[in-house]
Amino acid sequence: MTTAIIESIETILVDLPTIRPHKLAMHTISQQTLVIIRLRCCDGIEGIGESTTVGGLSYAYESPESIKTNIDTHLAPALIGMAADNINAAMQRLDRIAKGNTFAKSGLESALLDAQGKRLGLPVSELLGGRVRDTLEVGWVLASGDTARDIAEAEQLLDFRRHRIFKVKIGANSLDEDLKHVIAIKRALCDRASVRVDVNQHWDESQAIRGCQVLGKNGIDLIEQPISRINRAGQVRLNQRSPAPIMADESIESVEDAFSLAADGAASVFALKIAKNGGPRAVLRTAHIAEAAGISLYGATMLEGSIGTLASAHAFLTLKNLTWGTELFGPLLLTEEIVNEPPVYRNFELHVPNTPGLGLSLDEDRLAFFRRK
Ligand code: MUC
Ligand code: MG
């Protein structure tokens, strides 16, 4: 008999400014809204989780406000009274009562893992089968929208030894302008950095045929989600003809999507996001599909704050190969912190705590200050 019954679940919206406007093809971010989850159990343990997306409803079907409403109204009532230490039973229940809603489920699964880790005195990575590394290489996203500013930002981050992988956000401007922008950045950084692009689905196939050719010839290492997730046949054709590898991001909205992309041969790299699979355990199911299919892995982000970032990191630490590194830089894009132990970034890497749970605690004063009133 368990003594760890889930007693209450609280969701809190927290609005934090970014260090500069972050321009994606579909939306410019100047603040991030984190959905923080506090899952309290009757043994006195509290698990914390985060369900965060980017750009309101412009990126995915869940917004911060809908995540909060759906947890408060549907998901939390289904979990309250269940055993907090049976994460299989809890998550299977959520899958039975709610279609999709992977962002909301991800924060809840993270909170359950954090609570169980604290209960057993184990880091979340150990609950997930054990870490095979303690650190993760972390890339940065250049998205100021200005070529000179992006180059200066990359140079500074290289000097600080903080990042040597740069993903350039494109797709908002004309194809020619975007290609000029990326090639100028690559020429400035040369072989001192890996330069990649994320088109966020904004090319059609005809643009992508040319875009991928030109970028591949100019030393761009990876092309993320060049065309719409809906155009599966086009993704398969691009994956066959692009000189640079194609990574699926928006195309993966579930573990089942990962399976069908792998079966169709629609990408040679998968962007792993806990939010788009339903949590740290769910994202590992996608990773294992990729491993079985010979698809390489990248540890991606929805620009979460420290809690979501470390929930992702604990999962990624367990993987055999993360060929393309990670982009777990979310906390560094924000001007403010709401935890007592900000993640440590040093020498191009994120150093992941080896303490119980996620390794974080909430800074109650800062949380009270930044929470949406
Ligand atoms: C995306 O599409 O990859 C992740 C990093 C970033 O800058 O934007 C997000 C979304
Ligand atoms: Mg992307």
Considering the domain boundaries, does residue 197 fall inside one? yes
Residue 356 resides in a domain: no
Q: What is the CATH number of the domain that holds 57?
A: 3.30.390.10
Judge if 220 and 235 occupy the same domain: yes
Looking at the structure of the chain, the number of domains it has is 2
Residue type at position 336: E
Q: To test ligand 1's pocket by mutation, which of 140, 227, 276, 301 has the most ligand atoms within 8 angstroms of CB? A: 301
**Domain residue limits at 81:** 5-121+363-370
Instruction: Tell me how far CA of residue 146 lies from CA of 24, 136, 182, 310, in angstroms.
Output: 12, 28, 11, 30
Residues 17 and 102 in one domain: yes
d(CA 184, CA 150): 10
Distance 83 CA to ligand 2 centre (A): 36
Please indicate, yes or no, if residue 182 is contained in any of the structural domains: yes
Same domain, 110 and 160: no
Pocket of ligand 1 (CB under 6 A): 24, 54, 141, 143, 198, 200, 249, 300-301, 303, 327
Same domain for 113 and 167? no
Q: Which residues of the chain have pLDDT under 50?
A: none
pLDDT at 281: 98
The answer to whether position 146 is within a domain reads yes
Do both 104 and 158 map to the same domain?
A: no
Do 81 and 138 lie in one domain? The reply is no
| Extended strands (E) in 68-189 | 135-137, 140-142, 165-169
Q: Domain containing 339 — which CATH number?
A: 3.20.20.120
**38 Cβ partners below 8 Å, 6+ apart?**
9, 10, 12, 46, 47, 48, 111, 362
| Whether residue 328 sits in one domain with residue 212 | yes
The pair of structure tokens assigned to 210 is 């040319």
The answer to whether residue 324 sits within a structural domain is: yes
Residue 357 lies in a domain: no
312 and 239 within one domain = yes
**What is residue 1's predicted lDDT score, i.e. its pLDDT?**
59
Bridge-based pairing of strands 349-351 and 6-23 is: unpaired
Cα(53) to ligand 1 centroid in Å equals 10
The answer on 179 and 90 residing in a single domain is no
In a domain, 358, yes or no: no
Ligand 1 centre distance from Cα of residue 273 (Å): 10
Please tell me the predicted confidence (pLDDT) of residue 137.
98
pLDDT recorded at residue 3: 80
Query: Does residue 70 share a domain with residue 159?
Result: no
Substitution candidate for ligand 1 out of 53, 141, 229 with most atoms within 8 A of CB: 141
Q: Do both 221 and 314 map to the same domain?
A: yes
63 and 138 both lie in a single domain: no
The reply to whether 75 falls in a domain is yes
Instruction: Cite the active site residues.
Output: 169, 327
